[in-house]
Amino acid sequence: MARDSERKLIALDIDGTLVTYDEVLSDEAREAVAAVRAAGHHVVLASGRSLIAMTPVAAELKIEDEWIVASNGAVTARIDVSAPMGYTLERVETFDPEPVLRMLQVELPHARYAVEDVGVGFRMNELFPEGELNGEHRVVDFEELWSGDVTRVVVRSPGETSAEFHEIAARLGFDDVTYAVGWSAWMDIAPQGVTKASALERVRKELGVAIEDTVAVGDGSNDIDMLRWAGHGVAMGHAAEAVQAAADAVTGSIEDDGLVEVLRSLL
């Protein structure tokens, strides 16, 4: 068991890092997470997923008493299996989605839009493909999407590439929000300055872990800030060039269970 002064904060992305894109968590990855936790290190799941989509992963890993960062940093909670929802909310960052939604509606009138209701699900202008968003799905008039402040806006537009999404965001001047573009036609929009890194920094201070004792592993563009923040950032082998460039090291791909190598090196 590591002494308090030797405990690390290990931040793990989920999709494409911990589990495959087919939602498979390998036995090797599960055992490696259990081993670093048994050694006394903190394993903090940090994902673009909503909180209710992350708690089943934590349960599968038998994590019952740890911090968790959801919605790309907009939601921070603590896993608590005794709580009615299985967690307690610690911090929720919100913003007014109306300005960005109005701009995007003009630019991408054919896109699907959703806003997150923490702990419940999503309101959306039309249903997303099954399995892409968790929780309750409620189809509403477009204007109802900005009826109140939200943690996140999700934009899904199969007609656009990731590069085109970046171009649209630059052209519209998203100065008051933070955005991350996914592998394909997917964009997450969060409050300004809110990222996985900003949430993890607060968690780090709460846990009393030195910045040099932080490790982060991820594969997506929404992991870039987290990889730069960590004392040791590791990109997955299948990650895009920009993601790998932000890391201190590159491990194997998700097909090769690259995360396992990283975790075993910490034991």
Domain holding 76, by residue range, is: 9-92+194-265
pLDDT at 175: 78
Last residue within a domain, chosen from 174, 189, 204: 189
pLDDT at 193: 94
Q: For the chain, first and last CA: distance in Å?
A: 10
Alpha helix (H) ranges present in 91-181? 98-107, 162-172
164-198: pLDDT as tens digits: 887 888 888 887 899 888 766 789 999 999 999 99
Rounded Cα distance between 110 and 228, Å, is 35
Residue 213 near residue 3 (C-beta atoms within 8 A): no
187-237: pLDDT as tens digits: 999 999 999 999 999 999 999 999 999 999 999 999 999 999 999 999 999
22-59: pLDDT as tens digits: 899 999 999 999 999 999 999 999 999 999 999 999 99
Rg (CA), the chain: 18
In this model, does residue 136 exceed pLDDT 90? yes
CATH of the domain at 132: 3.30.1240.10
pLDDT at 5: 62
Shared-domain flag, residues 183 and 105? yes
Question: Domain for residue 240, yes or no?
Answer: yes
Residue 248 near residue 232 (C-beta atoms within 8 A): yes
pLDDT at 3: 59
Q: Residue 242 has which token pair? A: 């920009």
Question: Domain for residue 3, yes or no?
Answer: no
pLDDT at 183: 64
CA atoms within 13 Å, Cβ hemisphere of 238: 13
Confidence of residue 131 (pLDDT cuts 50, 70, 90): confident
CATH of the domain at 66: 3.40.50.1000
Domains identified in the chain, total number:
2
